[in-house]
Structure 1
């Protein structure tokens, strides 16, 4: 928040390029590192500001990328390899229609929605170029494959709009020719898949989601710490302490990894959830035990991997198992409470932007939260005074502040107006804030509106039978009826600045600013 736009742009691009270089050093894709850093920056509270200042850079490099891709389309290669290009294009189109439709049916969508979704996926995008470039760089793809991939992408991109247009007729044809029994099974499966789940299923879904999120998140953090230890920490420690550097680096790494190892091994379920599951199902312990064993094995394998990479396999397994047993012995209420607070803060930092927007973690009193939401251009009370906005009477919330650029209006008066881009500090319950968010942030899009090409200065010559002849500027109702602005009236070689009582005569040329498509109506 203390950086100006130029410095923030340099820092953001530096972080992006730095993560890309770091990902290559770790042996993974260059694009993956840039994507990861973009995801990290997108989760901050200042994502909109970063996005606004980096859009010109994105547009510049995007243009260069697509122009370079277009220059790689070699007509000679297309003519020489028209058969593979034709076959691959057909495989992409047919395969995407089939697998897209089948996948949507499995998720419980209706037959019409599934077919229309499958028909809209009949192309390969620019990411295929990245995969093809990586394949050529690794020597697993022939250099001739790349222009073929580009040609297939161009062909399928041009055909996709036609397949999207064909989707509704194709859906109607399939529905009319599909056997009744199969039609009944699809509809029944769709209804059952989209029906409201029971309380137990919802509880299991929430528990599994939290479990997977914890395992993936902390495993990634721990693996990254292992890689940093191998590549940087151990060599640095050996350079400073040749005799004790390996041991010192390992101890420091394990010390830093301990909070994440404990968070990974502790249960993802709460006492109330286990009690609820015990009431509903006596065998609920089996999946929970399996989930616990998997987490413990992952934690132990990470410890063994780190120690084995630093020392040897025997030392790694011996010390790894001993350290893991010591880790299990730390299951005390005090340690659990402390680690729970650390984990909560860690997750809250990751979700800072969404929490600030919804006010979920900003409780003033029980069930009353302070949220900050940005006013969109389609918000229904844009330009209205607060007393006329209906925020209190209709939504039950109160506005505590309005941030407009660098100006902060604390406890705004009832006469204060709301404008697009304002950040409203809103106090209300969870239900009230969630109901208000889509209303306030309606069409919160910073893209520039499309240019108006048809509105320009044009002229109309009045014939004898024109309905405008004999009328004045007022009675002709050019502005109200035709949305036209009269600039001047050309009579012979003279230009008249028409006033309200000027009468139009045959042969007059009306110079107006209007939509040229409506000139024929005039």
Structure 2
């Protein structure tokens, strides 16, 4: 215990002497303990001290805030509370979905993580102490933290209803995309990346980061030195300052364009590499029926890269660059990618609808020859790459789904899996509507990730 506390205080002191936050030093001390492999032994020993210092910390924060200040700063509190709730909810939801967790889980995770933590008090305290921000930000941060913490249980309680509402309101093309995306991520993880593909993906990621850093550095440097440098260069060359400034801007744009192009091109190449891992290309000489899923996945990766790289760049350069050129450029790029993504989602919907026709015929064959069901659906998966983990479910007497419609079951909203085909005697249904009532003997074809299929199968059988 003494050694752990001594290491913490020593690292905090060194960080303070070096001009950094004492919290950073304490964090690094904890990292050293974890790296040493003794965290399980140390954690129970320091837990009482942690709780004691946490209580003292919050008492100190509370004593530094005047409750009446909320009446003075209430517009800022309301605006920042809304920004935190919306921003963190959207950010966590997007990140969770891109990780392959599905629409329902992603929305519930986003609505559960809308609050800000106590570490924000430390950051604001450092900003006030160093003069980087005004003293008004400390009470505003505390009030925002309290407001978001109080609203979190309300958001958590309604997250399932919101997820169901969003799933029902999504266009059919996006519903199909959301169902299949999890299976693509699962497929990419399950196959494992060969060494050549891993090296290529890492190399592209490094190029993107390097280009983003250089782009940000040039933007900041030009913005900070444009006026003073223009005047000095104009007097040295004997030219009008406006001409020199225009030339400097032109040179900066000429230097920025290759970097911006490099980010876009590397993001596209990265998306293609990941999409090929999830949905392999067809052998030479055969029709490539996986082009639509690969295109949708590639654009998803591109949008993810633009968000991950673009948002920090805009946040860093916004106080320095004039007007709102950075947000406008980011918004325009996302708009173009969003339009291309919508077209790819519609193509994917057509791809799935065409494949569902083949699937329903396969279901008819399995109904006549039940022992051949696994082989036929496996052949369909090979012919339609990117269609998801196709699974057949036969409804028996007394099962929970019998007598209910697909809308009442809310199968896709609760599990993430979709029914792409239904076979009932001589009746063949491609992408059945939600008002279709299920009956005994119905043969359903489900698609989605393995986890979604397992949950949907359990829900259907009850």
TM-score normalised by structure 2 residue count? 0.41
Larger Rg: 1
Higher strand residue share? 1
Looking at both structures, which has the greater relative contact order when contacts are Cα pairs under 8 Å and sequence separation is at least 6?
2
